[in-house]
Structure 1
């Protein structure tokens, strides 16, 4: 039955009742109302976004579009954070660590009043961040990365060949979640016999509790086990050096006022843990998004299958269109005035990198997926001091993995009835993505 004349109808889905704090209100899933012609209605839907809302997270882009247009400096009263959604603002903040600090945490759940003093590179600012980044970057030399290409190709074949001639497989669980873990494990030096266990522990660190989110005993338990494992491996490298990143970390030296020193076992273990976790999660989600997007755009998939030279551009467009890590947290070190909004000193600010990637001010036709798109950059790997150390490796993995997939499976369909999405406040993608081939 059509709506009564003069009644608003929701665009993009039925109304849903949403609870924010103690208030309840109805609003459409799509974000804005379509009104009947000739009727003047003053009511508009309230603009609301938070990184914990799983319903919004299914398709946050309409909300982010409104934020860019109506409230580029958005304030969420419930969780007490500001959010930047425009490309220019996200980019500027990423390049200004003196004003937007990472030292108080970069994930909303753990951002606090005091800076972290745990040696984690992602929770530091220059100049200490610069020093640690130089140390860690020794493990990601162009020579080391280039040597991995044939290994990535061989691993992809090993994972994909068993499914040739079958009816389908889970693209994430059987391929995209396994491949990057195996690659980063090779790079840092995890023993082959331990790699599957390490991968499972990494997966467990991202366990989401319905009430506690990522801050839960299961996740913490896996993090402790990983740290213990890497600590033992670092100690072993001190006695028996190898040609791997863990050995490079044991040999790295930090300059201090008292002179130079080597990394402690805890510091080296923390670096290793971070590299493995970040190197696994980002690529797993990137490949999952590529699989889903190419299924939705079969003509572009056919072009890639016919011409592999298009793959680097397809990887960049996939990263722009669906950022695996869409939200990065910062804390202001001074009062900031932006778009007429005063942000007090020591405020939580979320940089919406995925929204920035869809900003039509930067990318014409931003909501169109186009593997041939020409653009100079995106924010999925960050910008400035915290630009992703493993970006070149992730790009290579994406290119090689997709080439190997398309060699074997030039077409596929998504089994939508059995898809499971992964949702955290900082990661967005697929946990299970069955494909029919």
Structure 2
């Protein structure tokens, strides 16, 4: 690969690790898009992709583009199935395939509805009484964790620990490219949290060896797929993390988006059949995950440029989900937009296994709020400082006086 060719690639040097970007990444993402189909980040060294087709290819073709296996392995404390490819990856996915398909997930509807009712009741009542409440601590952060704990048959009294562990674990990804002392601290704290989670999961696995159930952990312990003990632990830890961290953030983003678009929210109130497509459109319009890291397995073309083996890519899926070549007026939230696949749940073999569960949880929360406090308002949302997996850490929520 000629250095002169690589030197001709446009360069950018935006700081992703600041509050301005996290609060609203889209102005920066559009500047990157305008710089070129593929650009190089001067400080981080990654080549950035913003177009839908390029990002989908980098994220979905595991034969050419490797996941960030080292960081993912650190995140989950062992060999992660999220970093596997080919037959081994499909074998692993088959363990939970039946449990996580749409039809099977629907069988949990009654339980999830009860979890949502119980989790939201106090917060809704306080909002009705005139308080400004935090929807994150009130319910969006808890519900996905309670649901996945139920499906894994984990003790409900440990849910607060799972939340703290997974929140802290996320720092491993957030701090990966952050050279500041804060970035190093995030990684160190995340590694410690992963170790604690792994230790707990290990005891659960040992219990299932003598107390078999119909839960997701038992599926791992008694699978016919050849699997090492370390893989059972890291896979279970990954399930807890993925089952609540991103779902809780998307749930919060849906509350914010609909508060900002009251007309479309009113349509949902009057026609609940629109909720599934509304959730998909919100996830396209405001992505939980801003980017995914990939590495070139061999020299190949991507983004109109042939890059050498080992080159690191940032597939900016948040930008890809607003690609004007794929969507008309992509910056506009439109719950009636014709359905097209987006990258919010990934793509290809690594499409999120838990997407059906996430969709059901979020739809249940929206139905509950549309019944109880349909005109909720949000104020001064705090998105924290995490730029890669983006979501609100505080949603001050209230209802107009007519609903108090």
TM-score bracket, shorter-length normalisation: 0.7 to 0.9
Deviation at 1:239, TM superposition (A): 0.3
Does structure 1 residue 422 correspond to structure 2 residue 384? Answer: yes
Equivalent residue in structure 1 for 2:79, among 111, 115, 119:
119
Deviation at 1:103, TM superposition (A): 5.7
Corresponding residue number in structure 2 for 1:216: 187
Q: 1:384 to 1:192 in 2, by over 3 A?
A: same
CA distance in 1, matches of 2:303, 2:189: 42
Corresponding residue number in structure 1 for 2:65: 100
Mapped contact 1:152–1:401 kept (Cα < 8 A): no
Corresponding residue number in structure 2 for 1:240: 211
Query: What pairs up with 1:89-168 in 2 under 5 angstroms?
Result: 89-102=54-67, 104-105=69-70, 118-162=78-122, 163-164=124-125, 165-167=128-130, 168=132
Deviation at 1:224, TM superposition (A): 1.0
Equivalent residue in structure 1 for 2:250, among 276, 286, 290:
286
Corresponding residue number in structure 2 for 1:34: none
Query: What pairs up with 1:402-417 in 2 under 5 angstroms?
Result: 402-416=366-380
Q: 1:110 to 1:118 in 2, by over 3 A?
A: closer
Mapped contact 1:287–1:398 kept (Cα < 8 A): yes
Equivalent residue in structure 2 for 1:381, among 329, 345, 349:
345
Q: Equivalent residue of 1:75, what SS?
A: strand
Mapped contact 2:201–2:237 kept (Cα < 8 A): yes
CA distance in 2, matches of 1:303, 1:292: 16
Q: 1:212 to 1:253 in 2, by over 3 A?
A: farther
Q: 1:289 to 1:392 in 2, by over 3 A?
A: same
Q: What TM-score do you get using the length of structure 1 for normalisation?
A: 0.81
Does structure 1 residue 353 correspond to structure 2 residue 317? Answer: yes
Query: What pairs up with 1:66-77 in 2 under 5 angstroms?
Result: 66-77=31-42
Deviation at 1:282, TM superposition (A): 1.2
Q: Equivalent residue of 1:403, what SS?
A: helix
Q: 1:201 to 1:95 in 2, by over 3 A?
A: closer
CA distance in 2, matches of 1:411, 1:144: 33
Deviation at 1:372, TM superposition (A): 1.5
**Post-superposition CA distance 1:255-309 (Å, at most 9, x none):** xxxxxx4x33321121111011111011111111111111111111111112211
CA distance in 1, matches of 2:55, 2:71: 14
Corresponding residue number in structure 2 for 1:18: none
Equivalent residue in structure 2 for 1:268, among 209, 216, 232:
232
CA distance in 1, matches of 2:357, 2:221: 22
Deviation at 1:141, TM superposition (A): 4.0
Q: 1:251 to 1:233 in 2, by over 3 A?
A: same
Q: 1:249 to 1:104 in 2, by over 3 A?
A: closer
Q: 1:144 to 1:300 in 2, by over 3 A?
A: same
Deviation at 1:361, TM superposition (A): 0.5
Stretch deviating more after TM superposition (369-378 or 143-152): 143-152
Does structure 1 residue 52 correspond to structure 2 residue 23? Answer: no
Equivalent residue in structure 2 for 1:334, among 292, 298, 318:
298
- Could you tell me which runs of 5 or more consecutive residues in structure 1 were left unpaired when the two chains were aligned: 1-45, 255-260
Query: What pairs up with 1:301-316 in 2 under 5 angstroms?
Result: 301-316=265-280
CA distance in 1, matches of 2:86, 2:349: 8
Q: 1:62 to 1:183 in 2, by over 3 A?
A: same
Q: 1:51 to 1:253 in 2, by over 3 A?
A: farther
Equivalent residue in structure 1 for 2:332, among 342, 357, 368:
368
CA distance in 1, matches of 2:307, 2:19: 27
Going by fraction, where is strand more abundant, 1 or 2? 1
The higher relative CO (CA closer than 8 Å, separation ≥ 6) is in: 2
Corresponding residue number in structure 2 for 1:251: 222
CA distance in 2, matches of 1:218, 1:128: 31
Mapped contact 2:22–2:383 kept (Cα < 8 A): no
Deviation at 1:142, TM superposition (A): 4.0
Corresponding residue number in structure 2 for 1:401: 365
RMSD over aligned Cα, in angstroms?
2.4
CA distance in 2, matches of 1:431, 1:218: 18
Mapped contact 2:13–2:42 kept (Cα < 8 A): no
Q: Equivalent residue of 1:428, what SS?
A: coil
Q: Equivalent residue of 1:431, what SS?
A: coil
Corresponding residue number in structure 1 for 2:197: 226
Deviation at 1:412, TM superposition (A): 1.8
